[in-house]
Chains A and B, each alone.
Chain A
Amino acid sequence: MREMTLSTVDRLGTAAAGAEDVFHMDEDAFRLFYDRTARALWAYLSRATGDARLADDLLQETYYRFLRATAPLQDDAHRRHYLFRIATNLVRDARRRPRADALQIDDRVEHADPRQTHVVEGAAARVDVRRALARLKPRERDLLWLAYAQGSSHKEIAEALGLKTGSIKLLLFRARRRLAGLLRGHERG
């Protein structure tokens, strides 16, 4: 295939100039929505994957897919729910191709100033939670995070994870009991 000349690039660029028209939001609306959701989304992605760098990549991908969504999104709650649904699917895809550097436990406990006892205790407790979460099945982790960190309803969780709404209560009960047991184990250890 022949190389593209500058004028070819210009021509294609002009043809593609209105590419952002495919986004269902303009830049200002996106900025507002992003500022409301980005931190929570990053928190979910980082805990669900256990990898901060992967969370960065997935964050960009999630918003890109969100912007190109063709589904009608009525209100902010619906948009937010849809965003987390995309993120959940991306996390699931990412789990199918595991990375060697995944599941990094925060090392701030080792580097914290020992005089700041509350900081060390807080960080240690968070590491315990992350270790305990890492020992759960991915679906249990998603269920618990969406329910208790995100505050999603059973219906929203079911839609995000592709489960039946009626089964969420039982699955949550089991996952909760397992995580509580692991946390108690960490407390004792």
Chain B
Amino acid sequence: MAQTINTEVTRVDARRKVTGTASYAADSIPAGMLHGALACTAVAMGRIAGIDTARAEAEPGVVAVFTHETLPDYKTVKGFYAGGPGSASFWPMEGTEIRYAGQPFAYVVAETAAAARRGADLIAVRYEEDAAQIHMDPGESFIIGAGEDSEGMTLTKGDIEAGLGAAAQTVEATYRTPFQHHNPMEMFAATAEWRGEQLTVWMPSQSVRTLRGGIAKAYGLPETSVRVLSPFVGGAFGSKAGVTPYAMLTIAAARAVGAPVRLIVTRPQMYTVATFRPETEQKFRLGADADGKLTAFEHVEIAQTSRFDDVVNPGTHMTRSMYACPNIHTEQRLARSDTNSGGFMRAPNEMQTFFGLESAMDELAWKLGMDPVELRRVNDTNRHPVKDVPFSSRSLMESYDAVSRSFGWADRGREVGSMTDGDWLVGYGCATATYPTNMSPSSARVRMQGSGHAYVELAAHDVGTGSYTIFAQIAAAQLGLPVEAVDVVMGEADLPLAPIAGGSTTAASSGSAVHIACTNIARGVAEKVAAQKDGPLAGLDPAQITLENGVLKGPGGESQSLAEALASTPMGEIEAEGQYRHPALTDKALRMTYHGGYGVAGPVTPEMAMFAFGAQMAEVHVHRYTHEIRVPRLHGAFAAGTWLNRKTAHSQLMGGMVWGLGSALHEITEVDTPRARFLNANIAEYLIPVNADVRELRVEMLEERDDYVNPLGVKGIGELGIVGTAAAVGNAVYHATGKRLTAIPMRISDIVSA
């Protein structure tokens, strides 16, 4: 069988993307299309007292101006955190109420995008403004899931105070992480076209089924009347998962003007009309005996949320899965402030919490006088610390050992401030990476022609990660075809069920469905030729018949071409579906996925705990005079089951580490506290790493076999590379300077002030 898995395969859509022939959602322009634009509030809290649209309506090219009073047939859906598909529970333009800065209050339709934008700027609005608070007050936080058993958000095992009392060393520390915004290159966009009661929506999406289901339900239409198309996605990172106001406003506006309408949200508006990563506080109390074994593990996460949703991304679930400890207490808390609802942003539960946990572990190692790698080794465990089930595979220390070798960990100075390079203070730091392996149900349909060409169809998404390529590889491997002979069709809600492109589930879950569908095809063809009355393979055991390069072969060298084998089938082809469901997936989770929700098995099933692991090491230079922080070396080693495509997997992990570096040093949505407004709402002032920041970055991909997670043994890797980077950098800053930075991003000003 052709070796197409665990090899380096260039993206099948690479040429289309770099030559501009890959058609993104907003590239589709239905005949007669008009342009939409949003007008958004200057104030964060209060009411619309009056809107004057006269000047906007008089602007040449403006077709219509809609406000909360004039937009007919505008529908909304329930928010995600209330069990619905929406990006938030509060919907703008249903009334006069203003709940966050930059809230849409009018929608302009015009003949050109420029006229629509200009029209939006010409709307005069009067506010009754109330005071607003944008930062959470951790002192006002409330607990989530208190009193429930260990399935819940909040958990106690053993006696935390006794564990702290028995400890030789303890660490008590609080770490802070800021508001962040996703900033995908491709802007938020929606194009809606109504033909009678048939609606087509083109929109970059991480979940076309969520979108279709939500829209259909809101309008009382059968799902077959709503088409949702999202062929390529130019980055999403969690920001394009839900049904958003900008989409529903565009759909309503298109219906009202009787013409297709396309809205492209402006970059500054992207900071307010959808979700973001909420700011958090991570409070830890750790205790360890003289050998470093944890005796107490307490983690309280306080995350910001809106007034109208409980945006809870339970990071303590991840931290308490990490190290062996007899006494564990975790709390998941929220604190409200006046923003739109946050949501998930790449490694939504892990980036913040592992900055905290892995910084605290480093503090503990220094207190104990231990090598921080050895502290992780002492506390490594092959059973889940809370659920007491085995890990299906866990290559944490293999990762540490590999990255230690490549990085030269043993060569570090043992004391703080013991290494320099000219005017630069040098430090080394390490941290653990982990990401849960969540298995969604998925289906796929595969059609193979006698000519040896196959088509794979499923309602999955390629958000820039390489899904088109890996599904082609999986199919090619199973059908004995070259990768180029497989076409993959995705990003359309009418195709077979596939999950949200989130939680690093797509490759493992939908990949399993593709694998099963192709297995069914290969078996189907073998059974067909074996059942022939005559023919070279007639009467053979189908299990002994292989399919390679369009030829079916028997154990004795008998052969028949695929074309011949399929000649008598309708259209000369064979089709099969594959349906994947992890054995531990509950019926409830399955139903949730049918309706466009996020239903998964794992990471902890009744039998096993499923996580991917890795280890990161950073060399940090801090300038003696100016305190600039630079990271000349960043190494990571990761194990995540089978590597489907070594090239795109490497890119995912490397991209994750760059993302983590951004969280460590750059990324923050600056906030104006008096007016409760996000400030640096553009990619000139919202800093992320540029090439000059990423110097030596090395990714090592370890071999790992896991037969439990899914038929291909694959764990998701879209987010793994982010986790731990910020702590590794911060720990290296401490090693270089003796200054413990407890908030990200870590910037010049923090060292000057520390």
Partners in one complex: no
